[in-house]
């Protein structure tokens, strides 16, 4: 084979290779087009579901279940994750009494450390002070503007209540007081209950409670030092503009408000306004 023959041989090979590629390209193109159309058709089917996602929306009906409810009832005899409340005292603040009634022991379900008290103080100041005030006398800002006086934690009634009662009241509400179970976890409610006890101790402390050697200052002197009016140290009274809510109508199941304790001298609550007699409906005694 001479060089020239070799050269033409290579050209011939290239040409035939091109011819192969050329022939192969045409059927590939057709297959590609068909596959593309097929894909489009299939995806057009998907599009509907992607647009209207087949998911459950809270409180909306469902065509999937025979009862047409999207929200499913909990399966009988099962416990959902995070719902195994084995420590019933921690979650309810009560123990069953001998006759089946609930009892409130004066007991914290976990040890009260300074961290627990600090957490309780922080949560109390956020959620309870609007009505109960920072010192817990029940004369918070909202009460000064006409809300029903909130419980005074320093009167004999509240002082003698077990600590679990504060947990129970915060969990379920009490009379005019809303419940705080959504805002405060059980651990936080216990921390607040423990802090109420600390508040009670602080408000009813005597000189004997102070460690020997500690200097005790007069509140009036502190007020003066801090450039506060001297009235800062005086008993806390509701302003004359305060309105006290009318007593709740009986028979509605609302517990009556615990009466202010006259023996507790630090607060004075204006006399309850009684309903004006002329607004009573005309005698309807037939």
* Residue labelled with tokens 């609302």: 254
Q: Cα separations (Å) of 22 from 8, 11, 32?
A: 21, 16, 16
Size of the site for ligand HEC (CB under 6 A): 22
User: CB-wise, 177 or 223, nearer to ligand HEC?
Assistant: 177
Segment 101 to 140, residues that bind ligand HEC, using CB under 6 A: 127-128, 130-132
**Distance in Å, CB of 174 to ligand HEC, minimum:** 5
**R_g over Cα of the chain:** 38
User: CB-wise, 18 or 134, nearer to ligand HEC?
Assistant: 134
**Distance in Å, CB of 148 to ligand HEC, minimum:** 4
257 counts as binding ligand HEC under rule CB under 6 A: yes
Q: Cα separations (Å) of 183 from 131, 192, 243, 280?
A: 16, 12, 28, 40
Give the per-residue contact string, 133-152, with ligand HEC (x = CB under 6 A; - = no).
Answer: ---------x----xx-xx-
**Distance in Å, CB of 274 to ligand HEC, minimum:** 18
Which residue has the closest beta carbon to ligand HEC? Answer: 175
User: CB-wise, 181 or 231, nearer to ligand HEC?
Assistant: 181
User: CB-wise, 62 or 121, nearer to ligand HEC?
Assistant: 121
Cα angle value 97/98/103 (rounded, 5°) = 15
**Distance in Å, CB of 253 to ligand HEC, minimum:** 12
User: CB-wise, 172 or 266, nearer to ligand HEC?
Assistant: 172
Q: Cα separations (Å) of 236 from 232, 243, 281?
A: 8, 16, 38
d(CA 72, CA 127): 34
User: CB-wise, 108 or 192, nearer to ligand HEC?
Assistant: 192
180 counts as binding ligand HEC under rule CB under 6 A: yes
169 counts as binding ligand HEC under rule CB under 6 A: yes
| Secondary structure percentages of the chain, helix, strand, coil, to 5 | 45, 5, 50
166 counts as binding ligand HEC under rule CB under 6 A: yes
- Which residues, 6+ apart, have CB-to-CB distance to 148 below 8 Å? 175, 176, 244, 245, 257
Quote the crossing angle between the two packed helices 186-203 and 114-127, to the nearest 10°: 90
Cα angle value 110/113/116 (rounded, 5°) = 80
User: CB-wise, 132 or 154, nearer to ligand HEC?
Assistant: 132
- Which residues, 6+ apart, have CB-to-CB distance to 78 below 8 Å? none
**Distance in Å, CB of 138 to ligand HEC, minimum:** 7
147 within 8 A of 132, measured Cβ to Cβ: no
Q: What residues line the site for ligand HEC (CB under 6 A)?
A: 127-128, 130-132, 142, 147-148, 150-151, 158, 166, 169-170, 174-177, 180, 192, 257-258
């Amino acid at each position: 084979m001479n060089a020239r023959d070799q050269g033409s041989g290579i050209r011939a090979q290239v040409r035939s290779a091109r011819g192969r590629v050329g022939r192969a390209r045409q059927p590939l193109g057709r297959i590609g087009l068909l596959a593309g159309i097929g894909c489009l058709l299939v995806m057009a089917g998907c599009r509907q579901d992607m647009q209207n996602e087949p998911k459950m929306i809270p409180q909306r009906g469902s065509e999937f279940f025979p009862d047409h409810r999207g929200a499913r009832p909990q399966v009988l005899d099962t416990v959902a994750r995070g719902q195994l409340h084995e420590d019933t005292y921690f979650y309810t603040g009560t123990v069953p009494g001998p006759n089946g009634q609930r009892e409130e022991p004066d007991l914290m379900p976990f040890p009260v450390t300074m961290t627990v008290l600090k957490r309780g103080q922080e949560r109390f100041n956020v959620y309870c002070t609007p009505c109960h005030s920072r010192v817990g006398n029940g004369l918070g800002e909202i009460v000064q503007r006409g809300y029903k006086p909130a419980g005074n934690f320093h009167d004999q009634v509240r002082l003698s209540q077990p600590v679990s009662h504060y947990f129970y009241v915060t969990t379920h509400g009490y009379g005019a007081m809303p419940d705080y179970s959504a805002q405060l976890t059980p651990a936080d409610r216990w921390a607040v209950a423990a802090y109420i006890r600390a508040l009670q101790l602080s408000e009813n402390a005597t000189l004997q409670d102070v460690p020997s050697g500690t200097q005790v200052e007069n509140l009036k002197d502190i007020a003066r030092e801090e450039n506060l009016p001297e009235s800062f140290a005086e008993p806390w009274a509701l302003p004359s503009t305060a309105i006290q809510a009318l007593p709740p109508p009986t028979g509605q199941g609302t517990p009556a408000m615990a009466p202010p304790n006259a023996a507790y001298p630090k607060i004075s609550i204006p006399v309850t306004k009684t309903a004006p007699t002329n607004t009573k409906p005309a005698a309807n005694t037939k």
